[in-house]
Amino acid sequence: MPSDPSGHNPQGVLVRSAPDFFDDNLCVGGTWFQFGVIPTRSFCSTSLYNNDTLGRVLKVYGVTALVDNGQAALLYPNSGAPLGALVGNCLPVRFDLGIPPGLIYSKLDSVPLSNSPNPNNPPTNAQLIGGSFGGGISYFSPFPIAIIPRGWSLVVVNMGADDTGGASFWYQVANE
């Protein structure tokens, strides 16, 4: 990029790097559960729901899944009504920008201790974001790992009965 000798007055086209762009436009949201009521098995889902009224999408660049007992966590899309109960709004990392689109929903199901299946019943084409870990895993990507249209959710579910569960999402609101 051409500039004057001091470098303070650039000329021509200025291209911002991705980290600089995300500094001002990144949004976060999530929740977690501490459960493990004996004698039941507990399964939870955490969803990022796109409630935007202007037709924008949510581009998800990172997900943290909290899974306590060395089980896997899965991601999958859900259209229509969000799963579970509303937890709250997401927030921008720059606090003076106001509340962005994006709501967090969660659902906790406790089933009998027998070999009851996961009541969240994720589809077979769900994305695996970890397995055989204790505590949780974070996955970040330089490109969107999911693009959530208006009225859709990205759902994270634990696949095995755990003592703790939840998820956090890092995303950007974008015009498409």
Residue 168: inside a domain: yes
Alpha helices in the chain (DSSP H): 18-25
Helix and strand element counts for the chain (H, E): 1, 12
Task: Give strand pairing partners of 60.
Answer: 146, 171
Domain count, the chain: 1
Instruction: Render pLDDT for 125-143 as a digit per residue (tens, 0 to 9).
Output: 767 666 555 667 777 888 8
Q: Within a 13 Å sphere around the CA of 108, how many CA atoms are in the beta-carbon half?
A: 19
Residue 87 belongs to a domain = yes
Q: What is the pLDDT of residues 106-122, one digit of tens each?
A: 988 777 666 666 666 67
- Asked whether residue 143 is domain-assigned, the answer is yes
Predicted model pTM: 0.79
Residue 35, domain extent? 18-174
